[in-house]
Amino acid sequence: MDPHEPKASSVRQDGEPDDFCIGSGFWGERDPGGTTRLVVSVPPERLGALHQVLVGALQAPLGLLYRQVVDRRNPRPQGAPPRDQVALELPTERVLAVLQRYAPLVYHDARGEYWLRGALGEQIVLDGDGLLFCYPDDPAFRDVLEAAGLAEGKLETLQDRDYVKHCFHAECDALEDRMVSELGLTEVVPRKG
């Protein structure tokens, strides 16, 4: 798979690519619940490396939540909740090896989100658009981002665009199954009400 292929891209109303390019930068904000976070944007060819550096900065052991938003093989009805699968107490080296081994799925397919949590409660989230979110807005995360050459400053992202095309690759179906098995992910049943 092409390392420059994004999880998602901005398109015109007719579905053809427009001239929007994903930029590099980060900025602080509060999420809808009031928690501080850093929003991080990088082009697709830098996403995997930066994500892995950020994950490496989390305090071990790690927890991982794989949120399958789109099931390509067995589509859920519109408005159905995502499928959450978790593993706890994972060594950092194991998580980083899995992220590298399944890079086409993790960094080039929009079917899921990856929520990684460190032992101190700090989190890195990779969403289906290819944006990264670091919780909380902490100097340790800022140091990693600055060392990676990112400047602070708000950028336009895919979340600001009118039309976004998400990529779902058939060849990632088997990768998804193997990743879930290798990590020993367990499905968490959504809570009602």
Q: CA 49 to CA 103: how far, in whole Å?
A: 10
Using one digit for the tens of pLDDT, what is the confidence trace for 101-157? 999 999 999 999 999 999 999 999 999 999 999 999 999 999 999 999 999 999 999
Is the Cα dihedral 172, 173, 175, 179 positive or negative? Answer: positive
For residue 148, is it left (φ>0), alpha (ψ between -120 and 50) or beta? alpha
Tell whether pTM > 0.85. Answer: yes
Q: CA 154 to CA 157: how far, in whole Å?
A: 9
Q: Any idea what DSSP says for residue 81? A: P
Indicate the domain borders of the chain. 8-14+39-186
Backbone angles phi, psi at 40, to 5 degrees: -125, 130
Q: What are the structure tokens assigned to 54, written together?
A: 């950020």
Using one digit for the tens of pLDDT, what is the confidence trace for 131-140? 999 999 999 9
Q: Strand 123-126 to strand 112-117: parallel, antiparallel, or no bridges (unpaired)?
A: antiparallel
More confident residue, 2 or 62: 62
